[in-house]
Amino acid sequence: MFKIVEKRLLAPDIWLMNVEAPRVAHSAQPGQFVIVRGPEDGERIPLTVADYDREKGTVSIVIQAVGASTRKIVAIGQGECLADFAGPLGQPSEFIHEDIESLRGKKFLFIAGGVGAAPVYPQVKWLHEHGIQADVIVGARNKDMLIIIDELRKIAGNLYISTDDGSEGFHGNVTALMKDLIDNRGKRYDEVVTIGPMIMMKFVALATKEYGIHTIASLNTLMIDGTGMCGACRVSIGGKMKFACVDGPEFDASLINFDEAMRRQGMYKNKEKIADHRCRIGRDQ
């Protein structure tokens, strides 16, 4: 059992949980994820690590209540326990293995959408701790849905905000804001890391390809075990089958077949359209 030592509402239906998990906190690196079960009989839900404190032995996750299982997780209160909290899983972000000096010569831009701001945080923080100031774009539907902005502002080089309705920052999506930065505001980037909805990452990747900027995307695929056993998370990377859980979750965005990944991600959402009277899939979505 893993105790929730802190729980905060960040935006409507989006919660931050700080969870006591000393072994995970000890080993976690930017880019990795955990598998969480709320109640004893709950579904296994993969969530990217949002922060970790090795000394306190805690790991943060940010979770948006969208379906039955995520609602069950956010229903668990501060001081109570999650049944399971397994990780850290997947490969850490590639840059942590790179030579610091060469990293310092690179200009990073992180592009986060929605709850994607949460997993971007430990990456920007890691770079900040190594003397690298990365720029960050955070996009959301409107200003109420923006999360982790204050925390990111402290560690980012420049923090740019975009909202679909223009209620805060740039009026438009993150890709348009990135283009504006590069085309009109003289910004230049060597590396883009994008985390958010697949459709957003797809369009970020298409845009950065035009600029010739190497881009990494973090894939939030379906998973069960998260350790390479089930293959539910398989994606096509440069035409080769890869498992997001053990080969990823971060991949070279220019090689990702996003259309296939989106189709596979929605496998259980759209299933009710197909006639199958026994099928219970999608009832909670």
Partner 1 sequence: MANKIPRVPVREQDPAVRATNFEEVCYGYNLEEARLEASRCLNCKKPQCVAHCPVSVKIPDFIAKVLEGDMAAAARIIAQDSLLPAVCGRVCPQEAQCEGSCVLGIKGEPVAIGKLERFVGDWELENGSKEKADIQSNGHKVAVIGSGPSGLACAADLAKLGYEVTVFEALHKLGGVLQYGIPEFRLPKDKVVSREIDKVSRLGVKFERDTIVGRTVTIDDLMDNEGFEAVFIGSGAGLPKFMGIPGENLNGVFSANEFLTRNNLMKAYEEDSDTPCYVGERSVVVGGGNVAMDAVRTAKRLGADAYIVYRRSEQELPARQEEVHHAKEEGINFRMLTNPIEILGNEEGWVTGIRCIRMELGEPDESGRRSPKAVPGSEFEIPCDTVIMSLGTSPNPLLASTTEGLQTTRWGGLIANDEGATTREGVFAGGDAVTGAATVILAMGAGRKAAAAIDEYIRNK
Q: Which of residues 212-241 bind partner 1 (CB under 8 A)?
A: 224-225, 227-232, 234-236, 241
Q: Which of 20, 30, 37, 113 binds partner 1 (CB under 8 A)?
A: 37
**Any contact of residue 88 with partner 1 (CB under 8 A)?**
yes
Residue count, binding to partner 1 (CB under 8 A) = 47
CA dist 55 to 23, 25, 52, 59, 89, Å? 11, 8, 9, 11, 20
**Any contact of residue 24 with partner 1 (CB under 8 A)?**
yes
Q: Which of 10, 30, 61, 84 binds partner 1 (CB under 8 A)?
A: 84
CB 201 within 8 Å of CB 262 = no
Chain centroid offset of residue 209 CA: 21
CB 117 within 8 Å of CB 159 = no
**Any contact of residue 267 with partner 1 (CB under 8 A)?**
yes
**Any contact of residue 278 with partner 1 (CB under 8 A)?**
yes
* 155 versus 232: smaller Cβ distance to partner 1: 232
**Any contact of residue 69 with partner 1 (CB under 8 A)?**
yes
DSSP E strands in 41-151: the ranges are 45-48, 51-53, 58-64, 81-82, 84-89, 108-113, 135-140
Q: Which residues contact 240 (CB under 8 A, 6 or more apart)?
A: none
Q: Which of 5, 83, 206, 255 binds partner 1 (CB under 8 A)?
A: 83
DSSP 127-193: HHHTT---EEEEEESSGGG--SHHHHHHH-SSEEEEETT-SSSEES-HHHHHHHHHHHS----SEEE
Distance of closest approach, residue 24 Cβ to partner 1, in angstroms: 6
**Any contact of residue 68 with partner 1 (CB under 8 A)?**
yes
Distance of closest approach, residue 130 Cβ to partner 1, in angstroms: 23
CB 33 within 8 Å of CB 81 = no
* 59 versus 159: smaller Cβ distance to partner 1: 59
Answer left, alpha or beta for residue 49, where phi above 0 means left and psi between -120 and 50 means alpha: beta
* 36 versus 161: smaller Cβ distance to partner 1: 36
* 183 versus 276: smaller Cβ distance to partner 1: 276
CB 108 within 8 Å of CB 134 = yes
Q: Which of 157, 172, 197, 282 binds partner 1 (CB under 8 A)?
A: 282
Amino acid occupying residue 192: V
Distance of closest approach, residue 267 Cβ to partner 1, in angstroms: 5
CA dist 275 to 262, 263, 268, 269, 279, Å? 22, 19, 13, 14, 8
Q: Which of 52, 85, 108, 251 binds partner 1 (CB under 8 A)?
A: 85
Distance of closest approach, residue 94 Cβ to partner 1, in angstroms: 16
- Per CB under 8 A, residues contacting partner 1 are 23-24, 26-27, 37, 41-44, 68-69, 72, 83-89, 224-225, 227-232, 234-236, 241, 246, 260, 263-264, 267-268, 270-271, 274, 276, 278-282, 284
